[in-house]
Amino acid sequence: MTVHSARVSRRTPDRIVPRRTPDRIVPNGSGIRRAGGVRLLALEACPGDNEEVIPMDSAQVWTVIGVLSAGLFGMMTLMSTMFLRVLRAEIGSVRAEIGSVRTELGGEIGSLRNEMNARLDGLDRDVQFLMRREADRG
């Protein structure tokens, strides 16, 4: 299997003249280029290898930095928004659970209060009976 690479045959001051190679995508060490000499992407630059990488001026470098920074901050914003939504939903479910436990405890405490009042009423009745009996003896 033969791998064809698109290389620049010569560099003149005003333009780059590509060699003719078959039309297909060819991966190589400095990026992916379409055969035929048209470069699509250059990923890494070697200092002495100007035939393989398209040089970028400072405006292009700052544009790439800006685009990557905007993408990074956009992704961070998206992730923090999604995290806050999940956190609010979980806090809401915990709040609902606490509310149901509070209602259940309120019912249990109410029934315990009624039971204690009934026992104290019976005890009060017994104490009054004993007090009357002692008062009648004396």
- Residue 121: both structure tokens together: 């009423």
Q: Which segment of 18-32, 40-54, 101-115, 119-133 scores lowest on mean pLDDT?
A: 18-32
Q: Is residue 33 part of a domain?
A: yes
pLDDT at 1: 47
Q: Is residue 70 part of a domain?
A: no
Q: Is residue 16 part of a domain?
A: yes
The pTM (predicted TM-score) of the whole model is 0.41
pLDDT at 18: 52
Closest CA to 37 of 11, 1, 64: 11
Q: Is residue 72 part of a domain?
A: no
Q: What percent of the chain stands above pLDDT 90?
A: 48
Q: Is residue 19 part of a domain?
A: yes
**Positive or negative: CA dihedral 19, 21, 25, 30:** negative
Domains in the chain, number: 1
13-71 pLDDT per residue, tens: 555 555 544 444 444 444 554 455 555 454 444 555 556 667 889 999 999 999 999 99
Given a cut of 90, whether residue 76 has pLDDT beyond it is yes
Average pLDDT, the chain: 77
Domain range holding 30?
8-55
Q: Is residue 36 part of a domain?
A: yes
Q: Which residues of 63-83 are buried (b: 16+ CB within 10 A; e: fewer)?
A: eeeeeeeeeeeeeeeeeeeee
More confident residue, 74 or 134: 74
30 in Cβ contact with 43 (< 8 Å) = yes
Closest CA to 24 of 35, 32, 33: 35
CA angle 36, 39, 40 (to 5 degrees): 120
More confident residue, 43 or 99: 99
More confident residue, 108 or 44: 108
Q: Is residue 35 part of a domain?
A: yes
> Which residues make beta-bridge pairs with 27?
32
Band (137; pLDDT cuts 50, 70, 90)? confident
Torsion of CA 123, 126, 128, 133, to 10 degrees: -160
